[in-house]
Chain A
Amino acid sequence: MSLTLIACVCLLATGQSGAWGFSYGDQAERNEACLACHGDAREMAAGSFINRKQFTQTTHSIIGCQACHGAVMPSHPDGGKVPRAECRDCHLEVNEEYAAGLHAAKTGCSGCHNPHVVESPKEISGQEINQICSACHNALEMTAKHGEWLPQSELHLRMLPCITCHTGSKEYFISMYIVKSKDGSRFGKQEVAGYDELKRLAAGREIVSLIDTNRDNYVSLEELRIFNRTQKSLRLHGMMTPGTVSHKFEILDNRRNCTFCHTSGSAAMQTSFIAMPEENGTFKRVAVEKGAVLDALYGTPDFYMMGSTKSTRLNGIGLAIICGGLIMPVGHGFLRFLTRKNRKGKEHQS
């Protein structure tokens, strides 16, 4: 924690509220003093509006508005510029890491992260991570550019967070999220299912019960199979997502080697979570049984990574089929060799 943040927390703890220009009570109330205006979308311009539900879920809400906007004058709003802290004041290591990457010359932290909505990759669906990138990187343009070397580039870009390849992140896992077809049909265009929609489908129960039927906050393979067999309009998509994210954006040569992802035995294929949307706009992470994505058919029928998520059971069946085909050459061939004298004269006649 940087000195600035420590100073902020100390000031809050010692009650030296006069330093901020406002008289705050506890932290939530202090935030509320700001959110009374900034949380009202009708009053605030888009750039100043803060989504109350999302902000209250962030770590930033714990340290409070004034930790970053400390020097707001008592006369606010008076048209004067509101001060803001630099991200590096607290996130120095991340800042240095970011500065070494390709993105640093293009944009700062706020180019990707809204400090009032920040979430970790584990708390959002993979698809939403890419929505941040697509704010600057046109999806069609990126698809065409990647298509110059990447097979099925549209599929890769849709089903993989950009940061998986463009950062040296570590500890991958499979992040699953529920999609629903727009028109409610089974084959319509799919989009990430929202909280309200899932709540309606769950008929008043917690939406996690759509998959986690025994509500133990853990999705077993059997529960996953039942969900995938019985649900008509809801489906589960998956993404190989980094757990520990690096902020150094770069073009890594080893990501052009397909076997970085498409090789079996990867620990990433053993761990998976389902991102369940919450009422406040965030996602709750529900653990899934180990190795569920390696199930042959109904574990994750819409998530398959060549070479990585192959089923050992199917491999066994395939091997048995091939061995069946070898019965004739091996078995018959052996008997043929033993009885070769019976045919010798006749073969010479031909």
Chain B
Amino acid sequence: MSEKKRIYLQPVPVRIWHWINAFGIITLILTGAQIRFPESVTIFPSYKSAIEVHNVAGLTVAISFSFWFFYYKMVRNTLDKLYIPDEEDLKHGLLRQLLYYCFWYFLGKPSPYHATPDHKFNPMQKSAYLAVMFVLMPLVGLTGILLLNVTPLRVLILMWGGIKIIVALHFLLACSLLAFLCTHVYLATLGKTPLAYIKPMVTGWEDVEEHEEKEPEAPATRPAYRPVRHYPEYAQMQQQEQRNNG
């Protein structure tokens, strides 16, 4: 038997940041495409307007990124816990999640991981976000700032090897972000309904299904994910919990 429960997963600052980021990055991709391929992409009325919108969107995303970092690192102090995979994630979690996406999902099995406010991301999400938020985003932002200020930041550009290297990095990083965006949007539709994972990023609340045999509070030794019945760890955890209770 199971009952429905709601958890407050995405606080207001995170939701605001997420959607600013989302619209900003989509704008950057569209304008960036016109800037690089003006002969075939003409979304904006002029090349200059595409550059101006690209610059504004880039600065907005860079500022928004800084707020995101400040919020998670300084205000919530959960940045490391949320984004850096732990030992269990690396040993078992990544493989388990990969198997789920590639195999168990198609058989109709539930995800081995359920998000909680303190553990929002599954091991694969953690790894992907770690690369995106700590490598791709800072680098694409930094190279963008250099390209926006070629004359004043001339020395920094020379230190990187020249403007063409900066441009190449900026372009390839942007392509990587677009590739991530495609996967990110698709995976966001893998909930019980296509909008189940998207809804919390709008309302903040996620509907979760509580199983009667599951402990509401996880012991400290329990891994971040919440195993469900068809996974081998489930029986071990049940025994451990019975011993603790007994």
Binding site for B on A (CB under 8 A): 151-152, 154-155, 158, 186-187, 228, 235, 257-259, 262-265, 296-304, 306-307, 309-311, 314-315, 317-319, 321-326, 328-329, 332-333, 335-336, 339, 342-343, 345-347, 349-350
Contact = CB atoms under 8 A, between A and B. Distances in A.
B59 interface: no
B172 interface: yes
Contact of B48 (A258, A304, A345): A258
B168 A296 contact: yes
Contact of A262 (B47, B55, B110, B209): B47
B163 A187 contact: no
A317 B169 CA distance: 12
Given A151-B52, A307-B38, A333 B186 contact: yes
Contacts of A328: 182-183, 186-187
B186 A302 contact: no
Given A301-B165, A318-B172, A265 B178 contact: no
Interface in B171-202: 171-172, 174-176, 178-183, 185-187, 190, 192-193, 196
Contact of B175 (A154, A322, A329, A332): A322
A165 to B, nearest CB: 14
B150 A307 contact: no
Contact of B105 (A186, A304, A317, A336): A336
When A and B form their complex, which 4 residue pairs have the shortest distance between CB atoms, in order from nearest?
A: A325-B179, A301-B162, A350-B192, A342-B108
Contacts of B183: 325, 328-329
A301 B39 contact: no
Contacts, number: 138
25 contacts: A152-B151, A235-B162, A258-B48, A259-B38, A263-B38, A265-B39, A296-B164, A297-B162, A298-B164, A299-B164, A301-B163, A302-B163, A302-B164, A303-B163, A304-B164, A307-B36, A319-B175, A321-B179, A322-B175, A325-B179, A329-B183, A339-B107, A342-B106, A343-B105, A345-B108
Given A258-B51, A328-B182, A321 B150 contact: no
Interface size on B, as a range, is: 35 or more
Contacts of A317: 172, 175
Interface of B: 35-39, 46-48, 51-52, 55, 101, 105-108, 110, 150-151, 155, 158-159, 161-165, 167-168, 171-172, 174-176, 178-183, 185-187, 190, 192-193, 196, 207, 209
A324 B108 contact: no
A343 B108 contact: yes
Contacts of B52: 151
Nearest to B162: A301
Given A151-B52, A297-B165, A322-B179, 18 more contacts: A151-B51, A155-B150, A296-B164, A298-B164, A301-B161, A301-B165, A302-B163, A307-B38, A310-B36, A318-B174, A321-B176, A321-B178, A324-B179, A325-B179, A325-B181, A325-B182, A339-B106, A342-B106
A202 to B, nearest CB: 23
A329 B183 CA distance: 6
B106 to A, nearest CB: 4
A154 B108 CA distance: 61
Nearest to B49: A258
Given A187-B155, A342-B107, A321 B38 contact: no
Nearest to A158: B151
Contact of B182 (A300, A329, A339): A329
A153 to B, nearest CB: 10
Contacts of B172: 314, 317-318, 321
B192 A152 contact: no
A319 B230 CA distance: 40
A307 B47 contact: yes
A305 to B, nearest CB: 10
Contacts of B174: 318
